[in-house]
């Protein structure tokens, strides 16, 4: 099987008789020369991910709802972006492509949480949670899908949650439902994008010590002792490195997966 490099500098191997003449083989967890967009980049996991991608060589377009954010890296450009707006999703994808020529990776970290019990939940709460956690994934993914298809390559990584697998940790049903929908959506994208070179996967974190998690710990929340076999809650960097793995050539034979990163809370 002769090996070579594709036009995007991706290592490839020829597979005789395969529908895809050349498929990318896995390589180092580096993103040199790649262009990545990160949503929710001002938050705990999003910020750590933005820094990790830049450290791995990527040029990163960091986006969030805040007017500004500082990262201390020339490889990172910040832009305000409301993930609930399809028009803004279209603009951020188009502007990135026009300026940099490609969108190699889309990392979806924007999210919000609710703790209300089902019987106490309101229609407004459901709309708000679904708008950010689900439509905040749908909007950029449906705009970037044709771009990546035209390029013949792209990686999409979305934040899911352990909550969608176990019915919640300390979150309410609206959050669980939204994250479950993200898991299903990304599997659809993986299945329908594979022959176009589009990869799609989900990271399902356990409890991670971020500002959003602090709102949970003010309520009934598990202790790491006993509930987490590795003995501690996660840090944003734990999730960022898993995202880097799925966004990089190190995972070129992985798509449609939900990667559990939870210290052993769920062994699936």
Active site residue: 14, 78, 81, 175, which one? 175
Check: pTM over 0.85? Answer yes or no: yes
Q: Which residues pair with 198 in a beta bridge?
A: 154
Q: Which residues pair with 254 in a beta bridge?
A: none
**Average pLDDT value for the chain:** 89
Our answer to whether residue 14 is catalytic in this structure is no
Range of the structural domain that residue 164 is part of: 28-261
Is residue 268, in this structure, part of any structural domain at all?
no
Is residue 223, in this structure, part of any structural domain at all?
yes
- pLDDT in the model for residue 213: 65
- pLDDT in the model for residue 115: 87
Is residue 10, in this structure, part of any structural domain at all?
no
Q: How many domains does the chain have?
A: 1
Q: Residue-wise over 104-136: b if at least 16 C-beta within 10 A, else e?
A: bbbbbbbbbbbbbeeeebeeeebeebbbbbbbb
CA angle 106, 75, 154 (to 5 degrees): 25
- pLDDT in the model for residue 15: 46
- pLDDT in the model for residue 151: 96
Is residue 132, in this structure, part of any structural domain at all?
yes
Question: DSSP letters of 181-229?
Answer: HHHHHHHHHHHHHGGGTEEEEEEEE--B-SHHHHHHHTSS---HHHHST
**Ranges under pLDDT 70 in the chain:** 1-23, 213-226
Is residue 151, in this structure, part of any structural domain at all?
yes
Is residue 5, in this structure, part of any structural domain at all?
no
Is residue 135, in this structure, part of any structural domain at all?
yes
Is residue 267, in this structure, part of any structural domain at all?
no
With H, G, I as helix, E, B as strand and everything else as coil, classify residue 261: strand
Of residues 202, 248, 201, 189, the one with CA closest to residue 26: 248
- pLDDT in the model for residue 219: 53
Residue 220 belongs to domain with CATH number: 3.40.50.720
């Amino acid at each position: 099987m002769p090996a070579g490099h594709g036009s995007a500098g991706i290592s490839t191997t020829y597979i005789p008789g395969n529908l895809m003449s050349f498929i990318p083989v896995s390589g180092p967890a580096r993103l040199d020369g790649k262009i990545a967009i990160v949503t929710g980049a001002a938050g705990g996991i999003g910020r750590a991910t933005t820094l990790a991608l830049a450290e791995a060589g990527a040029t990163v377009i960091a986006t969030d709802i805040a007017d500004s954010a500082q990262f201390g890296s020339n490889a990172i450009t910040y832009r305000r972006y409301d993930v609930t707006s399809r028009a803004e999703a279209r603009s951020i994808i188009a502007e990135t492509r026009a300026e940099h020529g490609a969108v190699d990776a889309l990392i979806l970290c924007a999210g919000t949480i609710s703790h209300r019990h089902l019987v106490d939940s309101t229609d407004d709460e459901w709309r708000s949670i679904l708008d950010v956690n689900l439509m905040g994934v749908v909007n950029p993914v449906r705009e970037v899908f044709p771009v990546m298809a035209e390029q013949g390559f792209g990686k999409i990584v979305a934040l899911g949650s352990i909550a969608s697998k176990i019915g919640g940790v300390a979150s309410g049903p609206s959050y669980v439902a939204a994250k479950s929908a993200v898991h299903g959506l990304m599997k659809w994208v993986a299945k329908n994008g594979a022959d176009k070179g589009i990869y799609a996967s989900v990271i399902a974190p356990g409890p991670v010590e971020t500002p959003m998690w602090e709102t949970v710990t003010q309520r009934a929340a598990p202790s790491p002792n006993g509930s987490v076999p590795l003995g501690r809650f996660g840090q944003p960097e734990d999730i960022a490195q898993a995202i880097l793995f799925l966004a990089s050539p190190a995972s070129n034979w992985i798509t449609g997966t939900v990667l559990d990163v939870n210290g052993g809370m769920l062994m699936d």
